Amino acid sequence: MDKRPQQGDTFPLTIDGYASDGSGVGRLEGMVVFVPGALRGEVCQVQLTHVGRSALWGRVKTILTPSPARIPPDCPYDAQCGGCRFRHMDYAEELQAKRARVEDALCRIGGASVRVEAVLGAGRPARYRNKAQFPAAPGPKIGFYREHSHQVVDVADCLLQSPAAARLRAAVKDWMRRYRVSAYDERTRKGLVRHVYVRTSRSGAALCCVLVNGKTLPREQELTAALRCAEPGLTGVVLGVNETHSNVILGTDYRTLWGEDFLYDTLCGFTFKLSVPSFYQVNPDQAEVLYDRVLELADLTGEQTVLDLYCGIGTISLVLARRAKLVYGAEVVRPAIEDAVENARRNGVGNARFLCADAGEAALRLEAEGVRPDVICVDPPRKGLAPAVVDTIVRMAPRRVVYVSCDPGTLARDIARFREQGWSVRRALAVDMFPRTAHVETAVLLLPDAGPQGDGGEPYAGEPPCPAVR
């Protein structure tokens, strides 16, 4: 092109990789072009939709040379819902895209020259989610947000969710229509029903929570009756109060309308009690794959003391306790810690201790008490670790750190902070916890370098060169 690209320009483009959100990536006159829906290896006629200073965005007008990995999307909401990003490609290509994403982040942001082991794919890439959070909007509409918006797409069924979630969603919608119960409107901040939350277990039990902009609902008995009729496996109906004007989904107060306000689920041979706000992996099959790899990276022999930061309800803590001398779990959410204590008691685990504190405070408290963990495991939220937490972990001088992350970008940022203090990534692997979406779970092993920081842990011959990311 003789001039700088302009919005509306159309041109052929070769796609040579993927962005972190799953968009295809090509290059035009030295500028990166992001093209949603395009596949690696394809040549597409692309029309520019946005022109930035150093990057361009476009849409596919025509696929000139299709990829053999391209498949017809199997979801009728694929072009509307912003949830799934990979329904237009086969699963093998999706796993390659996720591996490239992790490797790119670790190398480019983290400065770690380490190859990512093959992404461990799901044996069941559909109907794997045990938790659904459906936003509601006037209409009523109950479904998911359109991409890059808060417009609710009315989704009758999601191929990632359980059939129970679809049935309970439909029952709430029918109840709203029948009794003219309003949905919350983000613009006016009026209306009642904000979200329909469904949690399911492997045994087929279901728990439904309706999040509302208020403390009561009209026709609560009728709502309970409708939900019980719709789902035979229902064990409880909960009303959640959320009167904040924000994007926060869960409420501050809960009231049981019928049955129990929790359910039980099994994971890695343990039984866990799950309430509405409990953090729990949404894909239990892949969670067991992930935790097996965490155990492998931790390399426990029964003699080590382990610190599990961001322990939630204690899932990883209990798994680690099987091979550790003693495990300390720390979590800032008090109900989660209460659940963790109860989960340890219920499963007969006597070598796990739990404290309610944020990660940095917990590490400092244990350090002050003279606790020197041999292994520290962290599984933080998407925002990653605060710099002070990294500093405290390094100061505690464990022999190894196992870092589990749902965001390769923040993981890589934190790895760079560890590297500045004499630590290196020695292994990295990924587990596809979220098939058909752009998300991926990563686990890395960090060891102190030989020298003043420690003995370097296990013998190591040097990191391989950073791979070319495709």
Q: Which of 204, 207, 253 is nearest to 228 (CA)?
A: 207
Residues 108, 44, single domain; the answer is no
Q: What is the per-residue pLDDT for 202? A: 96
Residue 462 belongs to some domain of the structure: no
Q: What is the per-residue pLDDT for 108? A: 94
Residues 239, 302, single domain; the answer is no
| 54 pLDDT more than 60 | yes
| pLDDT, mean of residues 17-29 | 94
Residues 115, 160, single domain; the answer is no
Q: What is the per-residue pLDDT for 335? A: 85
Q: What is the per-residue pLDDT for 462? A: 37
| 247 pLDDT more than 90 | no
Q: Range of 111's domain?
A: 99-123+269-448
What total number of domains does the chain contain? 3
Q: What is the per-residue pLDDT for 200? A: 98
Query: Would you name the residues annotated as active-site residues?
Result: 406
Residue 196 belongs to some domain of the structure: yes
| 133 pLDDT more than 80 | yes
Q: Range with the lowest mean pLDDT among 14-28, 174-188, 306-320, 363-377?
A: 363-377
Q: Are 343 and 367 in contact (CB under 8 A)?
A: no
Q: pLDDT tens digits, residue range 215-243?
A: 989 999 999 999 999 999 999 999 999 99
Mean pLDDT, the chain, integer:
92
Where does a domain end: 261, 279, 309? 261
Q: What is the per-residue pLDDT for 2? A: 59
Residues 218, 313, single domain; the answer is no
| 466 pLDDT more than 50 | no
| pLDDT, mean of residues 339-356 | 96
CA distances from 372 to 345, 355, 363, 369 (A): 25, 16, 10, 9
Residues 345, 417, single domain; the answer is yes
Q: Are 128 and 163 in contact (CB under 8 A)?
A: no
pTM of the entire predicted model: 0.91
Here the CATH number for the domain that contains residue 432 is 3.40.50.150
Q: pLDDT tens digits, residue range 148-188?
A: 899 999 999 999 999 999 999 999 999 999 999 999 999 99
Residue 79 belongs to some domain of the structure: no
Residue 279 pLDDT class (50, 70, 90 cuts): confident
Q: What does the alpha-carbon distance between residue 215 and residue 220 come to, in Å, rounded to a whole number?
A: 12
| 458 pLDDT more than 70 | no
Residues 443, 422, single domain; the answer is yes
